[in-house]
Structure 1
Amino acid sequence: MRETVTASELDLALVNALQLRPRASWSQLAPLLGVTAGTLARRWERLTGAGLAWVYASPGREFARNRCSAFVLLRCRPEDRSRLARQLCALTEAVTIELTGPGSADLLLDVLTPDLGSLSRFLTEKLHRVPGVVSVSCLFTTSMYVEGSRWRLRSLAPAQLTALGSSRAAGEPVGTLALDAVDRALLGELVRDGRLGLAELAERTDTSPATVRRRLRRLTDSSVLTFRCDIAAALAGHPVPVSLLGHAPARDIGTVHRTLAALPECRLVAAVTGPANIFATLWVHDLGDVQRRETALCARLPTLTVTDRIVGLHTVKRMGHLLDEEGRRTGVQPISPW
């Protein structure tokens, strides 16, 4: 049985700092948080060992512009849900898998692939052949406005946020970046652990620290990857994930997306294909908050019609990281969408 770890205020501040600067050194963060670098290193080892927080590489803005993503809604028999979720975890294209409440889907998948052909093969050759799948609906993402790396714990004081600043802005994506074997080896290591140092990455990829530094700068500047610090549900106050499908006239799409993105509880906002043209995921306090948030949103956005609400019961996989029922990380099924 895994040791029960209670997060302190320092732990929460550390996680918030790493959400802003995922690869910052302990010596850089120590003055901001008022402790020694050694203390931060021990705290982080304790948090990661308990599966409460972790840093990893995920696709950056370049992916949304030049590659393919989709939200897939699966229906299955009730007795097959848990088995099916575990089986789907082995599919690298399904980067996030969520067991959902009764409604339009039994499982919600976030799918990332290098191109439309790969996405088509995943849907027709892999997914439909999995025993227990009754039906599949696919919402293709046409634009990604907000994704999970933007969500913040909000544990730092304003003065700390000012002192910390934000990560250096990535360059504007200009096209699909050609990746070679070294790039892919680096990505393979960083999706497991985004805080690996240059020397260790060099050893694991059979290259030099200087080469690793150049390659990482190239990958981040071109927005091929971004680093994110994720957390278990306990550290976030046990939020309830709810995904809203909605429709708004084309002329109002920009306003809707900006309004949703400004909400502190917003994890994701995307434009999608189908009868609904908006997909958004919020982390709300409780089930009652779902109705309150929807009512407030529709009052502010009179042309927005919410067509479906998908409540998450258990996220079994998030961006390749396997989670238990408490949302703690238990393992990694590395993703490779590039």
Structure 2
Amino acid sequence: MATLNSRESAVQRASVLESVTELDLALVHALQVRPRAAWAELAGPLGATASTLARRWARLSGAGLAWVAAVPGRDSSLGICSAFATIRCRPGARDRVTAWLVERPEVVTIETTLGSTDLLCDVFASDLRELGRVLTEELDQVEGIVSTEAILITSVYFEGTRWRLRSLDATQVAALAHERSMPVPQPVGLDAVDHALLDELVRDGRLAWVELAHRAGVSTATVRRRITRLSTAGVVAFRCDVAHSLAGRPIPVSLLGSAPASGLDSICRGLAALPECRLVAAVTGRANIFATLWVRNPADAQRLEAAISERVPAMSLRDRIVGLRTEKRMGHLLGEEGRRVGVRPISPW
């Protein structure tokens, strides 16, 4: 019976993907702009009723094609430290190592890769000491790991909360974005209620205010006030992610580059402006720039790399890492075609 149910579920998921419409893609783009907007707020710009949008989203999220989740804000005042970790494994050990990493809440993203490394991970910690402990003491004890290189992130120029599916026109985006306010970083302390709310929103970033209040044991007004405070302070952000199959099955290619410190800021901003860009960060180590691009095929990666070298001659490429499969993204477990199949909640706050 389990096998039959599994086959039925696979057929149902495939059916949902085949029936994805332009409205579905527009809805996902709208939620990337306004992840927690009420359906009624999106109805006008998308030209659909609130009930239709709610129904469409239930199908997409139920099939693991799209989801909204809370993530650390880019300008958090809590001192969250993050790093990329490249891991080399012994032959035949990568699956075992990956299974161990999946269960670690500090390891928020995991990709199996081609190139100079077997695994590329994104690691979050509450401070530099804790980050160092995870990257050295804990990983050093994992059987099957041959070597680990830590690439400390010093500044993020572009990341997943700003990536867009590009299904809306400029007028629709403007209609959605005009009410958005930018975070204003400020000191803020978190108590047990804040942590309870964040834990729930990591799992489902679109939980209704009433449901959040019920789960945290506080009033709806308190929930609204708390989440608004945390968002305004840059502690938390919300992001609508998509399965690779919904995004056109892109290939993630990560580039490590070096550039003079005097030109680092302008180069990173230039990379962030590329349509293919998924992430750009200034880092420390053998390189000082880390960029991830989502491309359609290996030929596109080569073409784009050549264009970057021509456009930014001051940056020299040190390494390139091609992603084969994303096992985990910001705590959400991904299965076939990058669909969300589960969650191992992150808690870096």
TM-score with structure 2 length normalisation?
A: 0.94
Measured after TM superposition, the shift of residue 215 of structure 1 is 0.2
1:149 pairs, out of 153, 161, 179, with 161
Among 110, 116, 120, the alignment partner of 2:128 is 116
Sort the Cα spacing of 1:298 and 1:64 in 2 relative to 1 into closer, same or farther, 3 A.
farther
Mapped partners of 2:116, 2:127: distance in 1? 27
Q: Counterpart in 1 of 2:170? A: 158
* 2:10 is aligned with 1:25: no
Give the unaligned 5+ runs of structure 1.
none
Partner amino acid, structure 2, of 1:9? E
SS of match in other structure, 1:134 = strand
1:35-62, CA deviations, whole angstroms, 9 ceiling, x for partnerless residues? Answer: 2111111110000110000001000023
Structure 2 gap segments, 5+ residues each = 1-5
The residue number in structure 2 matching 1:100 is 113
How much does 1:290 deviate?
A: 1.2
Deviation string 1:208-261 (CA, Å, 9 cap, x unpaired) is: 101001100110000000000000001110000010000001111112111101
Q: Deviation above 4 Å: which 4+ runs of structure 1?
A: none
SS in structure 2 of the partner of residue 139 of structure 1? strand
Shift of 1:67: 2.0
Deviating more after overlay: 164-173 vs 249-258: 164-173
Provide the rounded CA distance (Å) in 1 between the counterparts of 2:174 and 2:155. 30
Instruction: Determine whether 1:295 maps to 2:306.
Output: yes
Any idea what SS the aligned residue of 1:108 has? strand
Aligned: 1:10 with 2:23: yes
1:65 Cα deviation (Å)? 7.8
Counterpart CA distance in 2 for 1:54 and 1:330 is 11
In the TM superposition, what are the counterparts of 1:64-143 in structure 2 within 5 Å?
Answer: 66-101=79-114, 103-143=115-155
| Paired-residue identity, % | 60
- For 1:244 and 1:124, the matched residues in 2 are separated by 24
Task: State how far apart, in whole Å, the 1-side matches of 2:77 and 2:117 are.
Answer: 24
Q: Is 2:278–2:292's contact at 8 Å kept on the other side of the alignment? A: yes
1:211–1:65 CA distance, 2 compared to 1 (3 A): closer
Q: Secondary structure at the match of 1:270?
A: strand
Counterpart CA distance in 1 for 2:309 and 2:43 is 44
- Residue 125 of structure 1 deviates from its aligned partner by 2.8
Instruction: Please list, as runs of the form range in 1=range in 2, the aligned pairs for 1:128-277 lying within 5 A after superposition.
Output: 128-165=140-177, 168-175=180-187, 177-277=188-288
| 1:159 Cα offset (Å) | 2.0
- Aligned equivalents of 1:257 and 1:24: distance in 2? 31
How far apart, in 2, do the equivalents of 1:325 and 1:312 lie? 14
Total equivalences in the alignment: 336
Is this contact kept in 2: 1:89–1:317, CA < 8 A? yes
Which residue number in structure 2 is paired with residue 37 of structure 1? Answer: 50
Shift of residue 167, structure 1, vs aligned partner: 5.8
The letter for the 2-side match of 1:47 is: L
- Residue 145 of structure 1 deviates from its aligned partner by 1.1
> CA shift at 1:64, angstroms?
8.2
Distance in 2 between residues matched to 1:245 and 1:12, nearest whole Å: 32
SS at match of 1:314: strand
Shift of 1:166: 5.1
* CA deviations over 1:138-184 (Å, ceiling 9, x no partner): 01111111111110000012221222225622332134x21100000
The TM-score with structure 1 as length reference comes to 0.97
Contact 2:282 2:288 in 1 (8 A): yes
Aligned residue number for residue 294 of structure 2: 283
Between stretches 303-312 and 56-65, larger displacement belongs to 56-65
| Aligned mates of 2:170, 2:316 — CA distance in 1 | 36
Partner of 1:327: 338
Q: Distance in 2 between matches of 1:46 and 1:171?
A: 31
Tell whether the 8 Å contact from 1:21 to 1:166 is kept in structure 2 after alignment. no
CA distance in 2, matches of 1:25, 1:279: 35
Contact 1:20-1:166 within 8 A present in 2 as well: no
